[in-house]
Structure 1
Amino acid sequence: MYINEYGNPNNPKLILLAPMMISGANLYDLMSPYLKGDYFIIAPDQGGHGKAGAYISADDEYRQLKSYLTDKDYKDIKLVYGASLGVAVAWRLFWDSDFNLERAWFDGVALNKSSKMAEVLVCNLFRKRKKQLDKTHVEASKSLVDWYGYDFAKMMTKNFERITLSDIDAICHACCTYDMKPLSKEHQAKLHLEYGEKDFDLKLSRKSFAKYMPDVKVVIRKGYPHCGYMAAHTREYVEEIEDFTNR
């Protein structure tokens, strides 16, 4: 993990944890133009992305983030945002009583104790796409263009070039394995949870909603794929996040 910092540390702290194929710096560049308030933004490059090293595990990524936050004495966190892969780390912060976390926004997460079949399928798909990219070196993957549009796909494809097969194995495991336990009413009140209607992670997570977080109103973006609303309507998406943050 490589920690990117933006703004004045005395301002309210937002932690932005990006999905796979988007670095922390990329996520900051996407979101920051639409934030109206003054914040101190922590946007880590997770393993396999940006300036970070290899992706070993979600536990290892969180160990690095927690060490950084503890060393800096950043105990009060206004919001942790996580999308897809980013939620693997954000989930650990969400449960960590060493921090005073006000709110959490999670997008496109497979909330399941173990989705081994999904892990194998997704891992094989990413490995296949990685090997294809290493041969073709296209500027933007066609499948990503179909889902997210050309500019977004170009950014993701560039990031995918540096992700290794070993990174893919560890990332897919992190995305498909969660320590699930019932959320208290206090925890549920802090949480915004959403999915694209076409998101496979929604299918994996549905049983967990009633079992672990019955009071959370899950937002489902009609017609959108995994993290698709964020890509298609970044301005509106960030405005919603900021409104939620400052309630």
Structure 2
Amino acid sequence: MRMDTYGSKEKPCVLLLHTMFTTGALFEALIPALVQDYFLVIPTLDGYDPDGKTEYPGADEELERIEAYLKGEQIRELAAAAGSSLGAMLAWRLWQRRRIPIHRLVLDSPPFGWSAVQAAENTESFWQLVQAVQAAPETPSVFNAHYGEFGAGMRRSCRNLTRDTICRSCETCFGPQLPQHISGGGTKIILVYGGEDPNYQYQKENLENRPDISLVVKPGYGHCGFLMQSPLEFARLLKEE
């Protein structure tokens, strides 16, 4: 796992966790909006560094590594932990472990509610996509069609992806359920979706009118689209109100 950091360690810490098929570079546009007020820790998860040979080991082992890094840096609490899709589910599990206090938990496009069957199905379809990109890395793909300027970086992140990384990533993403009531324990929990995101449409009835979470829905955006297309507005969700 590669750890990139920005800003002064004397500032409150924000942890940012990227989605599948990207790296920590997903958050580059957020850095100028946050670095004056926060110390930013931005991992590139195991398995996703195009210049590395690691594999994503699963949520528990990856979180052990993240927690060990924070402990080694003497970071005892997080002003915010935020993640997108895969990163959102890791941030959720990090909060559930309750080993490090998190003041704001911002989950972008979290795929709550899908079954383990969906994890298996997505493993196969995602792996076929990765193989196609690896066979023709310079050819525009579905990444370009759906994610615009991020497409080239997403294709590059596929360089060393393995089927095991895809399988374990899908196991992290698909299967966890959002409880009917969440006891925040002092954490403000914010769920962020694009209005066109299938993850939002699937959970829409379970998400609305809940006093235990703050739901932010951005009409016109797809999966992870709000973060990618409006990073400065997204950055405001990470700041204390």
Tell whether the structures are fold-level matches, with TM greater than 0.5.
Answer: yes
Cα deviation, 1:188-233, whole Å, max 9, x if unaligned, reads x60110112222222443465379x543232222122110122222
Q: Determine if the alignment matches structure 1 residue 41 to structure 2 residue 40.
A: yes
With normalisation by structure 2, the TM-score equals 0.88
- Does 2:213 correspond to 1:216? yes
Q: Which amino acid aligns with 1:48?
A: G
Partner of 2:237: 241
Alignment partners' CA distance in 2, 1:180 and 1:97 = 17
Which secondary structure state, in structure 2, belongs to the residue aligned with residue 47 of structure 1?
coil
The structure richer in helix per residue is: 1
Residue 121 (str. 1) matches residue 132 (str. 2): no
Q: Structure 2: which 5+ residue stretches go unaligned?
A: none
Name 1:63's counterpart in structure 2. Answer: 64
Aligned residues of 2:183 and 2:212 also touching (Cα < 8 A): no
Q: Alignment partner of 1:44: what SS?
A: strand
Distance 2:98 2:137 in 1: 45
**Deviation per CA, 1:64-91, whole angstroms, max 9, x where unpaired?**
1112222333112100011101022211
CA contact (8 A) 1:229 1:237 kept: yes
Which residue number corresponds to residue 22 of structure 2? Answer: 22
What secondary structure sits across from 2:227 in the alignment? Answer: helix
One-letter amino acid of the counterpart of residue 124, structure 1: E
CA distance in 1, matches of 2:166, 2:184: 35
Which residue in the other structure is 2:153 paired with?
A: 155
Native 8 Å contact 1:19 1:86 kept in 2: yes
The question of whether the paired residues in 1 share the 8 Å contact of 2:208 and 2:215 is answered with no
Q: Residues of 2 paired with 1:208 and 1:221: CA distance?
A: 17
- What percent identity do the matched residue pairs reach? 24
Q: Secondary structure at the match of 2:167?
A: helix
User: Relative to structure 2, which stretch is displaced further, 197-206 or 98-107?
Assistant: 197-206
Q: Give the whole-Å Cα distance in 1 for the aligned partners of 2:226 and 2:139.
A: 23
**1:166 CA drift (Å):** 1.4
Residues 94/184 of structure 1: CA separation in 2 closer, same or farther (3 Å cut): same
1:1-247 correspondence to structure 2 within 5 Å? 1-24=1-24, 26-35=25-34, 37-50=36-49, 51=52, 53-112=54-113, 115-141=115-141, 143-149=142-148, 151-178=149-176, 180-181=178-179, 182-184=181-183, 186=185, 190-206=188-204, 208-209=206-207, 214-238=211-235, 240-242=236-238, 245-247=239-241
Work out whether residues 111 and 173 of structure 2, in 8 Å CA contact, stay in contact via their aligned partners in 1: yes
1 CA distance for matches of 2:14 and 2:88? 14
Contact 2:109 2:224 in 1 (8 A): yes
In the alignment, the residues of structure 2 paired with residue 236 and residue 207 of structure 1 have an alpha-carbon distance, to the nearest angstrom, of 26
CA RMSD of aligned residues (A): 2.3
